[in-house]
Structure 1
């Protein structure tokens, strides 16, 4: 990256951005960015702009500041993406396997209705909000005026209760 050594805050932004393209590509490789390439390239350009605007030449090399700024912004975005995917997964494996169990051996068309009738109103509300409406744990907690951990524990208990009820009814 010999071009990066020639960087200075006095250069125009366009010139700086052009010279740091190999650096940005190197960061992409290190962070294993392999999809949404244009989006992340755009984020990197914004990070270069922020570094160019905020640079203090007395605090170190300009190229090092750009590198840490770009890498930091990309890592933040990757973290947000992972967090979003975890929070908004439509169904977890446990639920998918449970639903598959209904599809494989339905003993009665009324089985689901029978199971749901055995649940308390709040338990049905949690299932409806989570699986049908697609609410997150945080949103359900807000609607029902409970903590997020309480909602998670109750959903787990409801699933266990449904499995037990199903096995007693199906036998």
Structure 2
């Protein structure tokens, strides 16, 4: 057991890295524990002749966390579909003046960011789909989203 405690401390950054890469910020401690459970499974099932432990641990931990994340998202999705309180609390459609202001802010963006906003927020394409359309890296599209949102936030708060 003492061996695993040392191993858990050594691979703590790996688990945190997986959580960060999967953008897990809610229930982070729960998912960290799930990562430890899968690290334990990797520790028990590791066969040295199959390759190095670090790669095996990473794959096992990531796969386990992704599996649990999918279960959690499915559960959350069902709860949100059943709960219609949000829709009952929405009182009215956005006013035409607000929509015109938002449209003006989007039109002032550089062309590539404006295209991104339209594809992602209006047409509903995912970041990966947009990256494929533009034949660019996912990280590039993610950065474009960040910059576009910063500019829109600034334009809309300066209202």
Deviation at 1:36, TM superposition (A): 1.2
Q: Which runs of 5+ in 1 are unaligned?
A: 1-10, 102-171
Q: Which runs of 5+ in 2 are unaligned?
A: 93-159
Deviation at 1:100, TM superposition (A): 6.9
Q: 2:83: which partner in 1?
A: 91
- Number of residue pairs the alignment of both structures matches: 90
Q: 2:36: which partner in 1?
A: 45
Q: Which structure has the larger Rg over C-alpha atoms?
A: 1
Task: Return the alpha-carbon distance in structure 1 between the equivalents of residues 16 and 83 of structure 2.
Answer: 35
Deviation at 1:26, TM superposition (A): 1.0
Deviations 1:46-74 (A, max 9, x none): 11100000101111110111000110111
Deviation at 1:30, TM superposition (A): 0.4
Moved over 3 A (4+): none
2:76 pairs with 1:75: no
2:31 pairs with 1:27: no
SS at match of 1:35: coil
Select the residue among 13, 18, 32 that pairs with 2:9: 18
Task: Return the alpha-carbon distance in structure 1 between the equivalents of residues 62 and 72 of structure 2.
Answer: 15
Deviation at 1:28, TM superposition (A): 1.1
CA root-mean-square deviation: 2.6
